[in-house]
Structures are given as C-alpha cells and as structure tokens.
Structure 1
Amino acid sequence: MRRRRFAALAGVAVAALMASACTLPGIGGSGDERTSVAPQTPPPGAEGLASFYSQQLAWSDCEGAQCATLTVPLDYAQPDGDTIEVSVIKVPAARDSKRIGSLVVNPGGPGGSGVDYARAADFIVGKGVRDAYDVVGFDPRGVGRSAPIDCLTDADLDTFLGSDPTPDDAAEEQSFARNAEGLGQSCATTAGPLLGHVSTQDAARDMDILRAALGEEKLTYLGKSYGTYLGTIYADLFPAQVGRMVLDGVVAPDLTAEEINLGQAKGFERATREWAAYCVEEGDCPLGDSVDEVMEGLRAFLRAVDVNPLPRTGDNAVPQLTEGWASLGIAAAMYDQGQWRTLVDAMSEALKGDGTSLMQLANQYADRNPGGQYAGNIMEVIYAVNCLDKPETNDVAERARLAEESVAQAPTWGPFLMWSSLPCGLWPIEPTGGPKTVAAQGAAPIVVIGTTRDPATPYEWSVRLRDQLADASLITFDGDGHTAYTRSNDCVDKAVDAYYLKGTVPKDGLSC
C-alpha cells in the first residue's frame, strides 16, 4: 500500500536529523522585516496573478534564519478565489560580501520539508555556495507547515504502514484494496478542496511566485529525487525563468506509473545485491555465504515475518515487526551505504527473533519517533501528490499480474513496488497530470546528476531526462546510495559548485 515511497527520502534523513523547527511569524519570532523587492509581473497568460507576483515577504527571525509565508491561490484556475499560505525559510548567505542571490532547494518526496532541508544548509551545499547564496526552502502545499494534509491518526498510520504489502491470495488482495481505498477516503474527508490542488504543477507555479517574491529574475534551484521532477515541471512551465538548475537523482516526467514502480524495483534489487556483497565480504553475514544466498535468505525472512511477526521492544504502539515494517527498514539502509553495517547487525538480531533494530531503521524511513509520533506528513502527502500527477489502474487483478511478472526482474522488491501504487488507482479524485516529455526549450543549461547504483531513482532515468532536455549536461557518479551532490563524491561537488558560483556548465558526460 505504498506509492513510490522509496523516492521520498532524498535529503529527508539529513533534514530530520540536523534541522530544528522553524518559528513562524506571529508564533514567537521577533524582528519582523518586510524586505522590499522590485515588483514582478506574472508570465504571459497569467495576468490574473499580478497581486501574488507583486507581494512582499515579511521575514521574521526564527532560530538563526528568516521565516515568512507566501500567499498563493488554492486553485490557479480561480486566482480570485481562496488562498493558502506556503511556509518559507531563508538561511542567509554566510558571507554577504560574496552574495550572488537565492538558491531554492527541495529534498524530495513528494512530502519532504524544504524548510527543514534548508535549515541544514551547511550540509546540503558546498562551502563556497553556502557563502554566496541565501539557501531558501519551502514546504510545498500540503506538506509540513503549508496547509498540511493529515489523513490518518498516528495509530492508523502505524496500522497502514505495517500491514501486508504483498498479498498472497484473493482474500488478501481484497483486504489490501479496501485499505488502499480507505486511505483516499480519509484524505478527502480531512483535506477537503485542497486535495485536488496539490499536484506538482501547482507546486511549480507556487515556486515561480516565490522566485518573484525573492526578487530574482531567474530561479536558481537544487532539486533531489522527487525535487528533480518538481524542477523539470517548473522548467517546462517557465523556461525563460530557469537560472542555474541542478537535478540530482532524477524522476523523469515521461515515466508511466508502471515504469516507475518497475524501475524502482530493479533499482532496489541492484542496490540490495550490492549490500549483500558487502555483507558477505564482512565475513559475518547472517544470511549466507554468497550474494545469491543472502538475497534468497532475505526473501525467506520477509516471507516468514509475513506469517509470524517478530516481537520488538521500546514502542508499545507497534509491539511487532511485520513484513511491512521490515521492508521499510531494509529499504532505509539502501539510501546510504553508511547504513549497510547497521542493516547487517539488525538482520542478525532479527534472525534471532528480535525486530527492535530493524524497526528503528523503519522509523527513520517513515520519519517516525519511537513512541509512535510522526515528525511530518510525508507518508500521507506522498499519495496525495502522486495520485494527481499520474494515472493508475484500479484493477486488482491487473495489479496482481504486474506483481507476478515483476518477480523475473526484481524477485525481492518487484511485488512490493507493483502493489504500492494501488491507492492511486482507487483515489477519490481524478489525476490532473500524466507522463510528459519535457524539453524546456529556451531554458538555461540544466545540470543532471545520476548515480549508477541509486536504488530509488535509477541511473537510467537521469540519462532519459538528459536526452529529452534541449540544453542539459549529465554528470555520472559511479557509486552507491541515493543522489550524489554533497553526499559522497568530491568530483561531483566541485563540478556543481563551479556551476553555481561561476556559471561553468560541467562537460556533458562528466564521469565521477
């Protein structure tokens, strides 16, 4: 019951660990300051949005940064109708004398908090970039502090995430479908009209209003994982406003939902095999003495936990590790090879009958505190956005067929991912978007980064987007984990920093 949940975490772990909450204006902030910028006109065809494009942000001190709210229309087709407030944070350039402008960032998701991500500015961009740019983040509509969508109670979300993700027979398939449909109904009840207006296109339009409110003629942008999709849609809508844009860990906009599910299944299969090789090389792998043995042992473990969940300690809200939670825990370690040792130890513990450590990894994945409180709403809003962006089948039998066929290419992760997007097939609101090739003709050069063994956004997707864009440069990082910039490679970092600081476009095909 998960839709592309694996694409959600680019940067989120960093933000959750290193960022503190933003104190918004009127809730304890001090030193309100309305920074005057030259009013900008809306793009052609959007003259009715003039009042939004000319707004001045009222910045307020919030724990070493500046916070504000941006007013945007609920429905862009009715600019004179209801509005919503988007939470924005600015971490000023470290060296004002070197300031170039504003760098807007998005960590992924959909559902990752750009506010939390920007608070980790010292870790998400290079030092020179940090010196020269105000790092600006915003929670996209429906996310975090921006009219958040909250479909389920924490207890109900625990049940949803922990339920069987790979139904084995007709009865389990129908139960899965009921839960999937129930999520959408709950979202419709709690979110109201907003649920139909949280698409990526809506967020991209908000981002252009933010660009204008920051006083920037062009958008300088860093998007990771789903943030690349947001950036690409922005470039499609506003090519003339594209400045220095970096897209790291690409979700290509022309992918169908089925292609995304299968692509991620294959990506996680590839990444898990790399972890299995590491496990064997360490010499104390609890699952086997070869990569194939480890992979089969992992699948056997998940089948066993499906039937007999493991006890775990320290959290009365979730006293047992189910297949659903175990899958999330294993997936969490695939995002960063620094977690591989943790997963080896957690699996050793789990095979001895204790699911505590594997559940700790799952908590990290779900942005969940050990006591059962969720720090954000990423695990809910990810559906709300994706279900508007891409059409899905609601045919349970077709879903079962896709899951069965996926085993040939991704025996460990195929069924999990193929079933994951059924909630969108049963969503109460029809999708407003769909697969689309984007050229962004007329945009400034866009830098695309792909990691060869990225689990969540397979390298092939970065190549695919590079081939579509009219003017782009591809950096290839030969490595493991999800995304590359400031995460694991000096070659990538230097190329991106030079682009942001000097406008030097990396050579297309640069390999790091």
Structure 2
Amino acid sequence: MTSTLGRVAALLGAVAVVVGTTLATPAPALASGGITGQAPCPDAPEFICGTLTVPLDHSGATPGTLDLAVAVTGNTTAPKGDLLFLTGGPGQPGVPAMRRTASTLAPVLKDYRLVMYDQRGTGAHALQCPGLQEDMGSSDLAVPRRKSVADCAATLGPNARFYSTADTVADIDRLRRALGDQRLTLDGVSYGTVVARRYALAHPAHVARLVLDSVAPPQGFDPLDLAALPATARVLRAACRATGCTTDPAADLAATVRRYGNGAQVLSALTGYEFIDPDYGGVAEILREAATGQPAKLQEFFAFVHREVDTASAEELSQGLHSATVCADSRFPWGTADTPVAGRAAALERTRRQLTTEQTWPYDAATATGLGSLLVCLDWPREPVPPTPPAHRKLPDVPVLLLGGDRDLATPYELLYQQAESAHHPQIVIVPGAAHSVQNRAADPAGRQAVYDFLLT
C-alpha cells in the first residue's frame, strides 16, 4: 500500500466520477406507532417532531428504554426518499440544528425528506458530567482534571457501556423502520461520518448513498491524533501563504513546543480556532513571539479560544456522552476498554518512547500522549468492548461523496483519502480555504454545490 502522503499527492484535486444509479422510493408517512407524539416542533413549527423509543440495551439483557427526539420536514412525497443528517461530536444533538440544516440543504428538499434526531445521550436527554463539561466544553483535546473523569465515570456507572457507536447504529435501524424506509441516504459530518459508515457496513441493503463531510477515522477517534500532528505544518503554512505572512509558523510552533512543553494545549487551541478563522489570522505572529521567549500573546490566545469556542453546555455537546463513546469504541496504546486500568499508564509511556519525530513534528511525543480524550479514557473504568467491523472492510457498492477542507485540523484531509480507499467509486471534493464541517461553515460554496449535485444526480 502506498503511503498516506503518496495517496494525497496522487489524488489531490481530482474528483472521481460516481458511476451507476440508485433506485429510490418516495418517503412514506411516519409508520404508525414507530414515532410517537408527532406534532409541530416547539421551536421550529414548520417541522414535525416526535419521539422514538429504543432499548437501552439492544441485546435485551439489561432492561430499560431511551427516548430519542426526532424531527422531519413535512414533505411526505419526496421522490428520492429520506435523507438522514448525522451531527458530530460524539455528543451533539440533531433536532436543535434542524432549521439550519434544512436551510443549508434547501436545494435538495423537493426531492428528499430531511430527518434529524438526537443520538442517545445528547440534547434534552444529554449525559450530564458537570466537572468534565467545565474542563472540556466542546473540545476533544483539552486536558481534564482526573477528579472530573472519576466523577463522570461514577455518575454514569455500568450503563456507560450502552453509549457506543454500535448502539447508535442499532438505534438508526430502529429509526429507519419507524420511518417506513427500505433505504436511507446518509449525510454525516465529522463523527457523523463514522456513524454513517458503520451503519452502511452493518446494514448495506438499507443504504442508498453516503455523504461524508470532514471524514473522521473509522473508529471515530485516533487517541494519538497522528494525522493532525504533522498536518498542522501543512495547514499553517497554507494559511500563511494565503495571508501573506513572512515567517514559517510550523518551525515556530516546533520551537514553542520545545521551549514550553505545551503541545497539547497548542493543538487544542488551533483546532478550536479554525471554527473562527480558517486562515488562522494572527497565529503566525503569536507563534513567532512565543518561539523567541515571549509567550504572553500565546497565553491570551489560549484564553480567547477557550472562552469563544470551547465553552459548551451538555445539551450542546455532552462530554459525558463523548467520553462514554470514545472510551468504548477506541483502540488505545494499552488496548481497549476491557484492558485492566492498572497497566494502562505503563503502556502509554512505552508508546511515548517509541514515537518518532517524523510522526509528531512540529509537536513532540508528549503531545501525542497528552491529549484530553486519550487521558479521559486512561482512567475510565474497565468495561466490555462493543462489536466493531474490521477497519479496512469495504463499504457497500453505493455512491459515496467525501468532502474535506484543506485547513481542517480536526479531521485533516489525509484521513479522507485513507477512507476513500474503502469506497468502490468515491467522489472526492477538497475545498480550498475551508476548515472543519464544509457544508455548514465553508465560505466557498463548492462543497455545498457538490452535495446538491451528488444527491440530485
């Protein structure tokens, strides 16, 4: 297999043509008894809201149910069927974003009925971990206090294991049946791309086509973030060229990390800042001053990003749900969630010693092993591991569109090209100057237009 960088060089800028056609059936009315309490949404009465009740434990071994909020547009005769839009995180609800998403996808909604729902543990029924929420907010990478992690695990208890991606996939198939659909078109952003791919692998006969925007790793999370670390140099240098800066921000970042040992904090702040300015305006100057021993502006930058981006309530992005899902799904340097806690720190230290400069530059090995979501799971209680498909299993042979931005650090486009290899006939669109969540946030409309063309073809 060629290297990731080799794949990027070969594929960058190329858009593959999707071949074949997909038969579609009109979107039926909501199936009787599947979604209860149907009525106009309280905050968006142009849409219909209801409740889907699912088992806490899909195996049936543990009793209990969960109520998931669902919202749909009112067009029950959409000729191309239902379009399920999947939000990110994990931890973001769907229903509160219904109006914004419907506006973004308006050109296709004569042909599709838009469906959104709150994944288990999000929204009005968000898992609540106040200390962890305060420490991390909307960040994947901010380092939490160990007490916050312990308190969250104690609050969630043994039921934390029922909030994995496998459980969400099972919920979606319940939703599909409640909608009366044979097949769904799935549009996922960030962690939503993980859910969409996992659903397609588990239920290939029930997928019409896939839009994957800001593509995350197959298991949703790389605990060492080994795509984002080297991608930072590419992204910052591209932003520097676009804004006319005269320094090398990658070299200055490397010098800053060597001087202060704050790589995890820098990466967290840069990943948050892309949501404010994908040109990373002012960052090159901040890094140059820090590299030469003047860190005051860098500290102000950290505080600004935490205040403006990383603060979020559990209802907006539940860190309890995020931790439960990431810890259940992921493979770590110590193994999985079923690895005894006592041996995890030693395994992580062995990994730190083995990491190379090539893997981590312009950061260091301590950055890779010191990121927030990894440290949450370091002390997370031992629990059974949910089923996961093989990492390199092919997606079903349906049309697949992959979108990325060339300024995205949260899910760098190197990940997109890796995942494109699992599709049979991928269409790839990289939007220049765009950061994370192309459909929702990119100033350049090329990504949204690609989605419209793809869905309507």
- Tell me which interval the TM-score lies in, with the shorter structure as reference length: 0.7 to 0.9
Q: How has the CA–CA distance of structure 1 residues 406 and 213 changed in structure 2, closer, same or farther, with 3 Å as cutoff?
A: farther
Matched, 1:246 2:200: no
Q: CA deviation at 1:70?
A: 1.1
What is the root-mean-square deviation of aligned Cα atoms in Å? 3.8
Q: How has the CA–CA distance of structure 1 residues 354 and 485 changed in structure 2, closer, same or farther, with 3 Å as cutoff?
A: closer
Residues 376-425 of structure 1, C-alpha deviation per residue, up to 9 Å, x if partnerless? 34434222101111232153344345446254333344533432213324
- For residue 65 of structure 2, the aligned residue among 83, 89, 92 is 83
Is the 1:249–1:483 Cα contact (8 Å) retained in structure 2? yes
Query: How many pairs are equivalent?
Result: 406
Is the 1:60–1:66 Cα contact (8 Å) retained in structure 2? yes
Q: How has the CA–CA distance of structure 1 residues 88 and 342 changed in structure 2, closer, same or farther, with 3 Å as cutoff?
A: farther
Partner of residue 396, structure 1: 345
Partner of residue 321, structure 2: 381
Partner of residue 392, structure 2: 437
Q: CA deviation at 1:329?
A: 2.8
Q: CA deviation at 1:326?
A: 5.7
Partner of residue 457, structure 1: 411
Is the 1:217–1:241 Cα contact (8 Å) retained in structure 2? yes
- Structure scoring higher RCO (CA < 8 A, sep ≥ 6) equals 2
Partner of residue 128, structure 2: 150
Is the 2:121–2:321 Cα contact (8 Å) retained in structure 1? yes
Is the 2:153–2:380 Cα contact (8 Å) retained in structure 1? no
Is the 2:128–2:318 Cα contact (8 Å) retained in structure 1? no
- For residue 268 of structure 1, the aligned residue among 232, 235, 238 is 232
Partner of residue 189, structure 1: 154
Once residues 160 and 90 of structure 1 are traced to their aligned partners in structure 2, the CA distance between those partners, rounded to angstroms, is 26
Once residues 474 and 103 of structure 1 are traced to their aligned partners in structure 2, the CA distance between those partners, rounded to angstroms, is 18
Is the 1:107–1:227 Cα contact (8 Å) retained in structure 2? yes
SS of 1:221's equivalent in the other structure is strand
Once residues 216 and 297 of structure 2 are traced to their aligned partners in structure 1, the CA distance between those partners, rounded to angstroms, is 38
TM-score by length of 1: 0.68
Q: How has the CA–CA distance of structure 1 residues 204 and 163 changed in structure 2, closer, same or farther, with 3 Å as cutoff?
A: closer
Is the 1:162–1:324 Cα contact (8 Å) retained in structure 2? no
Q: CA deviation at 1:108?
A: 1.5
Q: CA deviation at 1:77?
A: 0.8
Partner of residue 363, structure 1: 307
Q: CA deviation at 1:237?
A: 0.9
Q: CA deviation at 1:304?
A: 7.0
Once residues 51 and 219 of structure 2 are traced to their aligned partners in structure 1, the CA distance between those partners, rounded to angstroms, is 32
Once residues 158 and 254 of structure 1 are traced to their aligned partners in structure 2, the CA distance between those partners, rounded to angstroms, is 21
Partner of residue 6, structure 2: none
Q: CA deviation at 1:257?
A: 4.0
- For residue 96 of structure 2, the aligned residue among 83, 95, 116 is 116
Q: How has the CA–CA distance of structure 1 residues 101 and 116 changed in structure 2, closer, same or farther, with 3 Å as cutoff?
A: same
Letter in 1 for 2:386: T
Q: How does 1:106-505 map to 2 (within 5 A)?
A: 106-125=86-105, 127-146=106-125, 148-153=126-131, 157=135, 179-180=145-146, 182-253=147-218, 257=222, 261-278=225-242, 281-282=244-245, 289-291=246-248, 294-299=249-254, 327-335=267-275, 337-338=277-278, 340-341=280-281, 343=283, 355=299, 358-368=302-312, 376-392=316-332, 393=334, 395-403=344-352, 405-414=355-364, 415-420=366-371, 421-430=374-383, 431-433=385-387, 436-441=391-396, 444-469=398-423, 471-477=424-430, 479-480=432-433, 481-485=435-439, 487-501=442-456, 504=457
Residues 172-230 of structure 1, C-alpha deviation per residue, up to 9 Å, x if partnerless? xxxx9xx45x4543223212343010111110111111122222221121101111110
Is the 1:68–1:88 Cα contact (8 Å) retained in structure 2? yes
Q: How does 1:29-48 map to 2 (within 5 A)?
A: 37-38=30-31
Residues 321-366 of structure 1, C-alpha deviation per residue, up to 9 Å, x if partnerless? xx86665332212356546236568878995558556423223432
Q: How has the CA–CA distance of structure 1 residues 265 and 117 changed in structure 2, closer, same or farther, with 3 Å as cutoff?
A: farther
SS of 1:341's equivalent in the other structure is coil
Q: Which 5+ residue runs of structure 1 have no aligned equivalent?
A: 1-34, 40-53, 166-175, 283-288, 308-322, 505-512
Q: How has the CA–CA distance of structure 1 residues 398 and 379 changed in structure 2, closer, same or farther, with 3 Å as cutoff?
A: same
Once residues 183 and 131 of structure 1 are traced to their aligned partners in structure 2, the CA distance between those partners, rounded to angstroms, is 47
Q: How has the CA–CA distance of structure 1 residues 227 and 406 changed in structure 2, closer, same or farther, with 3 Å as cutoff?
A: farther
Is the 2:78–2:113 Cα contact (8 Å) retained in structure 1? no
Letter in 1 for 2:305: L
Q: How has the CA–CA distance of structure 1 residues 498 and 377 changed in structure 2, closer, same or farther, with 3 Å as cutoff?
A: closer
